[in-house]
Structure 1
Amino acid sequence: MTRPALPAGFLRLPVTHRALHDRAQGRIENSPAAIRAAVEAGYAIEVDVQLSADGQAMVFHDDELDRLTAERGPVSARSAAALGQIVLTGGTDTIPTLGAVLDMVAGKVPLLIEIKDQTGVMGETDGRLEAAVAEALAGYAGEVAVMSFNPHSVAHMARLAPHIARGLTTSSYDPDDWAPVPAEVCERLRGIPDFDRVGASFISHQGNDLTRPRVLDLRAAGVPVLCWTIRTPEQEAMARQIAANVTFEGYLSALPA
């Protein structure tokens, strides 16, 4: 299986979590304003994607609209056009498509795309969101990588876009935090058993769990270890003792000279 290397920019530039969001400035997470701010600042960008009812990849974290908009219900029940009319609470932006975000970033900084689990239990997916991501990325020339907590999603990307670097988003998988994912699935995923099966070339691991033996073993084998989500310079200093890079929010991580 082809295993594309993680582009170098992801190891050089700190990664903004859901772009450079700041609600006080009207820049909502994953919004065009937050993406433009990250590009202008020169940071790498992490965004999340969910699937619209008509099969488009939408840049939005939650599977429900409730937390971030005045609307209610699942993202997957609305068309891309309808979602594109929904204003993000606290700002003036609406929910963008992945294609629109790619046009905004345009290769100026690296873009890390997290494919959100569509099953609720980290189960086998139907591949529709992954296909939408692969379609949006066709011909994109900038530094880009994809990742997911769901190994099935990463396996789909290996088939659909084998030339794009792919990784696993990983965690301590405390079952209390992951309901309704079954405890036995948490136990399995905790060991990162699918890394080779899906042809992953990196992981992005929970920042306060970086001393897990499996993470250290992957690092020792030369696998790039990114981490999430770092919220203070002090946390960053600790994380960088192990991680090759950080995904941050709530402060400005130092850019390389």
Structure 2
Amino acid sequence: MSKRTPDWLTARPFAHRGLHGQTDGQRLSENGMAAFDAAIAKGYGIECDVRASRDGVAFVFHDTALTRMTGRDAAVAALDAAILDQITLPDGGTIPRLSALLARCGGRTPLLVEIKADGRRVEAVCAAVARDLAAWPGAPVAVMSFNPWAVRWFLRQRVGQVHGLVLTQQGKGRLRGAIERALALWLSKPDFLACDIRDLPSRLSRHAQTKGTPVLTWTVRSAAEQAIAAAHADQIIFERPRD
């Protein structure tokens, strides 16, 4: 039986961490509000990463530590929201709260929220994301994660929320990868898959599409990868070059 997933999930490409890099003469930071605004202006969907502050507020940021993007030697999870609000990205913008990004999307721009969490300790970040999503019922938003426990949290705690599993086979042996993948699929029961473009085509992606489960693919960066995605996936999560 095919899964029933919303049309917006595959209707348009998603800009990976926003439309960052060189855009209209400006250098825009990944996961920054300016990069998200640029994606919205060009009609793309948005993919973003989310972590929780020490006091349980969802912030849009990829890395565990702030160092690479801000030069500050601290973990996102070690700081309260009021402090994170004051830290700037290379383009001069501040680290966005998820609530602010949802407001900017306004229930119109499709949004993929990738939850960053390790192991089974997913409650803080998942609950923070869920609180923000509750303010936007019916908005085109999906949650996804490499961590099947995070996806499972939404399966159980926020019934009806579109949820997906992010997958890669890179750096994994065949047996280890198969076991991890089977366990993750069983735990999360995803509505869609987000597969590493380097793994396509794969038996998993073909099987998912046969069953009616949409397959997104990341991170598409070239014309050659776009061609692979067109043949073996339902939509792309991309970075430049693309325009």
The TM-score normalised by the length of structure 1 is 0.86
Return the offset for 1:5: 4.1
What is the RMSD of the two structures over their aligned residues, measured on CA atoms?
2.1
CA pair 252-63 structure 1, distance change in 2 beyond 3 A? same
- 1:124 aligns to what? 120
Tell whether 2:34 aligns with 1:37. Answer: no
Structure 1 counterpart of 2:135:
139
1:22-61 alignment runs, 5 A limit: 22-23=21-22, 25-61=26-62
Aligned to 1:180: none
Q: Which residue of 1 aligns with 2:98?
A: 98
Q: CA deviation at 1:12?
A: 1.2
Tell me which amino acid in the other structure corresponds to 1:208.
R
Question: Equivalent residue for 1:15?
Answer: 14
Structure 1, unmatched stretches of 5+, are 177-182
Which residue does 2:207 correspond to in 1? 217
| Higher relative helix content | 2
Report the Cα distance in structure 2 between the residues aligned to 1:23 and 1:148, rounded to whole angstroms.
27
2:125 aligns to what SS in structure 1?
Answer: helix
Letter in 2 for 1:16: A
The alignment partner of 2:71 has SS state of coil
Q: How does 1:103-252 map to 2 (within 5 A)?
A: 103-117=103-117, 119=118, 123-140=119-136, 141-175=138-172, 186=177, 188-189=179-180, 191-252=181-242
| TM-superposed deviation, 1:195 | 2.6
- Asked whether the equivalents of residues 200 and 228 of structure 2 are also in contact (C-alpha less than 8 Å), the reply is no
Runs of 4+ residues deviating >4 angstroms: 183-187
Deviation at 1:66, TM superposition (A): 0.7
Question: For residue 139 of structure 1, what is the amino acid of its counterpart?
Answer: A
Q: What amino acid sits opposite 2:120 in the alignment? A: E
AA aligned to 2:54 is A
Aligned-pair distance for 1:6? 3.4
Cα distance change, pair 125–5 in 1 and its aligned pair in 2 (3 A): farther
User: Quick check: 2:112–2:142 contact (8 Å CA) kept in 1?
Assistant: yes
TM-superposed deviation, 1:10: 2.1
CA shift at 1:205, angstroms? 0.2
Kept after mapping to 2: 8 A contact 1:145/1:164 = yes
> In the alignment, what sits opposite 2:5?
6
Query: In 2, are the aligned partners of 1:154 and 1:168 still within 8 Å (CA)?
Result: yes
In structure 2, list runs of 5 or more residues that go unmatched.
none
| Equivalent residue pairs, number | 239
> What is the TM-score when the length of structure 2 is the normalising length?
0.91
Alpha-carbon distance, 1:15 to partner: 0.7
- 1:186, distance to aligned residue in structure 2 (A): 4.9
- Aligned residues of 1:39 and 1:108 also touching (Cα < 8 A): no
In structure 1, the residue corresponding to 2:185 is in which secondary structure?
coil
Cα offsets for 1:56-103 (capped at 9, x unmatched): 1110011110111121121111111111111112x0101011001111
**Paired residues of 2:15 and 2:239 also in contact (CA < 8 A):** yes
Distance across 2 between alignment mates of 1:239 and 1:130? 30
CA contact (8 A) 2:109 2:140 kept: yes
Deviations 1:10-58 (A, max 9, x none): 2110010001111572311110001111111110100000110111111
The code of the aligned residue for 1:200 comes to P
| CA–CA distance in structure 1, aligned partners of residues 18 and 218 of structure 2 | 13
Secondary structure of 1:203's match?
strand
